[in-house]
Structure 1
Amino acid sequence: MTDLEYQDRAEALLRAIELNCDRINEDTDADIDNQRVGGMITLTFANRSQIVINLQKPLQEVWMAARAGGFHYKHDGRAWQDTKGNGEFFENLSRYASEQSGQALRFSS
């Protein structure tokens, strides 16, 4: 993947996260505060726990830090997949956000 392709896909991922947070905040009482600074988004939940997603441009990866741990994702041509084979980014974000918020939340691309 070229650097431009990475940047386009990574930007689409960050924008999807922002849109999902807006939808979740409208449809539920999860109250996710999402703050974006450049290539990093911090999701803060009502219990003050956080999930941080940031771009790693030199590696063409997206990193996510949650209570469950730290995870690295690479785009496989279809989706962002965990580099250790532990699933797709949005499925994992949904699981970790649900765990940290205490309610079922669904993120999608």
Structure 2
Amino acid sequence: MNESEFLAWADRILAAVAKQADQWYDELDVDVEAERNGGVLTLVFDSGVRVVVNSQAPMQEMWVAAPSGGFHYRLVDGVWRDTRGGPDLAEALSQICSAAAGRELRVTL
């Protein structure tokens, strides 16, 4: 994948997660704010938890920083897979955001 293709993927991922955070706020009464600045999306939960999702074009990876650690994801066969064998990006974000909100949330990409 070239850099333009990666950036298009990254933009779709960040937009999808931000949209879902807005829906959680509007429809599920989850107190979360999505702040996007270029290739970086920060989710701030009322619990004080911050989750940062950012694109790393030189590495062609999506990175996530959360209280549970830092994680890197690379596109493999159409799925953003953890480079260290953990859950894929959507599942990891679902787990991280659920823990931050204190209720089950589902992230789809």
| TM-score (normalised: structure 2) | 0.95
Partner of residue 76, structure 2: 76
Pair 1:61 & 2:99 matched: no
Contiguous gaps of at least 5 residues in structure 2: none
Match in the other structure for 1:101: 101
Structure 1 unaligned segments of length 5 or more: list them. Answer: none
Root-mean-square deviation (Å): 0.9
Contact residue 53 and residue 65 of structure 2 kept, 8 A: yes
Q: Quote the residue 2:17 is aligned against.
A: 17
Instruction: Write the distance in 2 (CA, Å) between the matches of 1:48 and 1:41.
Output: 16
Deviation at 1:77, TM superposition (A): 3.4
Q: What is the rounded CA distance, in whole Å, between the counterparts of 1:18 and 1:108 in structure 2?
A: 11
Runs of 4+ in structure 1 displaced over 3 angstroms?
none
* Mapped contact 1:74–1:81 kept (Cα < 8 A): yes
Q: Structure 1: how far apart are the matches of 2:29 and 2:19?
A: 16
Size of the aligned set, in residue pairs, is 109
SS of aligned partner of 2:30:
coil
Report the identity percentage.
36
Residue number in structure 1 paired with 2:38: 38
For 1:8, the equivalent position in structure 2 comes to 8
Query: Normalised by the size of structure 1, how large is the TM-score?
Result: 0.95
Q: Distance in 2 between matches of 1:96 and 1:12?
A: 20
